[in-house]
Amino acid sequence: MQILDGIKLSKEIKQEIKQKVESFKEQGKRVPHLGAILVGNNGASRTYVDNKIKDCNFVGFESSELILPDTISQEELIAEIVKWNNDDSLDGFIVQLPLPKHIDQEVVINTIDPDKDVDGFHPMNFGKMALEMETFLPATPYGIMEMLERYNIDTTGKHTVVIGRSRIVGRPMSILMSKNGNPGNSTVTLTHSKTENLEQYTKEADIVITALGVPGFLKAGMVKDGAVIVDVGITRVDDSTNPRGFILAGDVDFDNVKEKASWITPVPGGVGPMTRAMLLKNTLLAYNRKK
């Protein structure tokens, strides 16, 4: 068993980006600029946005954040997004999800300028991804693909089972793993909460990518020896013995599954850091397009 170390790899990627930004500065050019809009005070979202700002500071990007109350109307939020769409100093920005229930997430995503949609959620970018055109890839699937490539995981001709069909991870992951290239060229089975006998699929899989959000769901008996296991799930589980009062748990029963896996991602420290690094790569792509 070997660890797919997202912390180590993301540091390498951020260092590469930092060197490019330093080159821009030496040439007298402006640096890339990433923005984030946060609605409400969701603790996990606040932490995520704070970490993105830290990442920007490390690589030398300019960063902006707009914190709005969770009582804001949909119309008011749309107006703020339009302002950022028209701000030429911003290369890309995200609207942090989830949003309050009274705001239509689809309307918000569709309002973001596709050329600034560094989360890769806009239908135009999703369609380009499906057609294997250059575009902003959703950051988490992008991070997984980067991880597979840099760790030289052969995916060609392999059977990949994806658990979960969200637009953020599962669906784009299934598209990317089947694309023509390596990583890619995989035969993909997309499973979800309505899949019957899911275990029969995972037992046959060379690669399992799970994004279900159910702690410890994937057991050792559900995977074959030598499988590559990528755990996207991350859930706060109450734990009175932990100083924080909780632990972060993935979808995989890590301690037992690792004994059978050839490669496996830990939680935390696996996919999460890669997601943030890919947001920086998407911002760099937006910057280079404008340049």
How far is CA 144 from its chain centroid? 8
Other Cβ atoms closer than 10 A to 111: 18
Specify burial of residue 180 (Cβ count, 10 A radius: 0-12, 13-18, 19+): exposed
Per the annotation, the verdict on 96 as an active-site residue is: yes
CA–centroid distance for 65 within its chain: 19
**52 catalytic residue (yes or no):** yes
Among 171, 98, 163, smallest CA distance to 129 is for: 171
Active-site position among 52, 116, 158, 281:
52
Structural tokens at position 27: 């040439």
Q: Which residues of 124-157 are buried (b: 16+ CB within 10 A; e: fewer)?
A: ebbebbeeeeebbbbbbbbbbbbbbeeeebebee
91, 113, 117, 119: the active-site residue: 119
Closest CA to 287 of 89, 13, 55, 60: 89
Catalytic residue among 55, 96, 113, 253: 96
**CA 80 – CA 68 distance, rounded (Å):** 10
Q: How many CB atoms are located within 10 Å of the residue 70 CB?
A: 14
Just list the catalytic residues: 52, 96, 119
